[in-house]
């Protein structure tokens, strides 16, 4: 987006309310406050959420969800994915003054359809999903800058949705409503399963007698991630790409002996790796056949 476009589409200074000021909601609220908006109200149930609201949204009055809507121009619904639809239905049923209010959620799995009860009541729906992991620590706010947001909104609201993201220092990336679940599956496959894989590798190294698995893995995994992001499948290395069926067989034998719960995931990932390597021309068909014999 160029500067002229940003200026034209820049939202007016908004009164912001946050329903669910947890790890994500408190950070988004703080980011909008840093951009010049006013966070005026929050609805917090747990003690942890109340503490985050007090620390990151000090000007917000704690009140009931319907009151948050009444006081706000922009309402953030930052609750867990499965709680979003019941919250939208519940807010619509309260008769809260929704007409003309921007209502945004931060769920990756949902587009704006989950907000339909609020849209029918006159709200303006936005889906603004930060592609970032949140730990609840102070660095979360700084990490928000320069990350991407998956943005979904009715076409007339797209400039407003994108401008809000730009104001928070992030990059808006448009995701069509029908691809929202696929988009989220891709992110979960990469980020969530990456953590599982790294933890699994560290656990296996510890079984092999390595005292500091993280120290051993850090340079290797850092290089592998860099290669994957820059080169895609062409950044692949290792025994599957080389067609080393005997090595893969030895891996499986050791896993079944020392960590049998890990064998199934190794086989599934090795098969997927072989399929991709074969399609990319990195693995010869005859080597792939030997590998697949081992992996079945």
Task: Please give the pLDDT value at position 38.
Answer: 97
Q: Are residues 107 and 187 in the same domain?
A: no
> How many other CB atoms are there within 10 angstroms of residue 135's CB atom?
9
| Beta-strand pair 74-77/15-19 | parallel
CATH at residue 289? 1.10.1040
Rounded to two decimals, the pTM is 0.86
Q: Are residues 48 and 104 in the same domain?
A: yes
Task: Please give the pLDDT value at position 97.
Answer: 95
Q: Are residues 136 and 193 in the same domain?
A: no
Per the structure, how many domains does the chain have? 2
- CA angle 26–15–128, rounded 5-degree value: 50
Q: Of 146, 175, 204, which residue sits at a domain end?
A: 175
Q: Per-block average pLDDT, block size 10, for the chain (296 residues)?
A: 44 91 95 96 93 94 96 97 96 95 97 98 98 88 92 98 96 97 95 95 97 97 97 96 96 96 96 96 95 93
Q: Are residues 222 and 134 in the same domain?
A: no
Q: Are residues 105 and 30 in the same domain?
A: yes
Q: Are residues 83 and 216 in the same domain?
A: no
Q: Are residues 190 and 206 in the same domain?
A: yes
**135 φ, ψ (degrees, to nearest 5):** -105, -10
Task: Please give the pLDDT value at position 5.
Answer: 41
Q: Are residues 191 and 111 in the same domain?
A: no
Q: Are residues 29 and 147 in the same domain?
A: yes
Task: Please give the pLDDT value at position 296.
Answer: 87
Token representation of residue 216: 């051993």
Q: Are residues 134 and 275 in the same domain?
A: no
Q: Of 127, 153, 175, which residue sits at a domain end?
A: 175
CB contact at 8 A, 198 and 162: no
Structural domain for 273, as ranges: 183-295
Q: Are residues 202 and 138 in the same domain?
A: no
Q: Are residues 15 and 152 in the same domain?
A: yes
Residue with tokens 């290797």: 220
For every residue of 175-200, DSSP letters joined together read --GGGHHHHHHHHIIIIIHHHHHHHH
């Amino acid at each position: 987006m160029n500067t002229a476009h940003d200026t034209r589409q820049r939202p007016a200074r908004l009164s912001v309310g946050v329903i669910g000021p947890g790890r994500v909601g408190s950070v988004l609220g703080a980011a909008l406050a840093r951009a010049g908006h006013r966070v005026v109200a929050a609805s917090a149930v747990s003690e942890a959420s109340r503490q985050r609201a007090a620390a990151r949204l000090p000007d917000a009055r704690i009140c009931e969800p319907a009151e948050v809507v009444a006081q706000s121009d922009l309402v953030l619904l930052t609750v867990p994915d499965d709680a979003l639809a019941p919250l939208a239905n519940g807010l619509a049923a309260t008769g809260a003054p929704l007409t003309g209010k921007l209502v945004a959620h931060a769920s990756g799995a949902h587009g704006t359809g989950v907000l339909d009860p609020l849209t029918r009541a006159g709200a303006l729906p936005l889906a603004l999903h930060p592609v970032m992991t949140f730990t609840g620590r102070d660095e979360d706010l700084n990490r928000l800058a320069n990350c991407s947001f998956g943005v979904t909104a009715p076409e007339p609201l797209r400039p407003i949705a994108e401008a809000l993201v730009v104001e928070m220092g992030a990059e808006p990336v448009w995701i069509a409503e029908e691809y929202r679940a696929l988009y989220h599956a891709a992110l979960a496959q990469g980020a969530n399963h990456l953590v599982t894989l790294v933890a699994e590798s560290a656990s296996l190294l510890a079984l092999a007698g390595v005292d500091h698995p993280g120290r051993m893995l850090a340079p290797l995994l850092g290089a592998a991630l860099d290669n994957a992001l820059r080169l895609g499948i062409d950044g692949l290395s290792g025994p599957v790409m080389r067609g080393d069926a005997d090595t893969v067989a030895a891996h499986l034998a050791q896993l079944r002996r020392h960590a049998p719960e890990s064998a199934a995931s190794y086989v599934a990932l090795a098969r997927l790796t072989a399929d991709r390597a074969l399609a990319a021309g990195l693995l010869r068909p005859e080597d792939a056949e030997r590998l697949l014999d081992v992996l079945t």
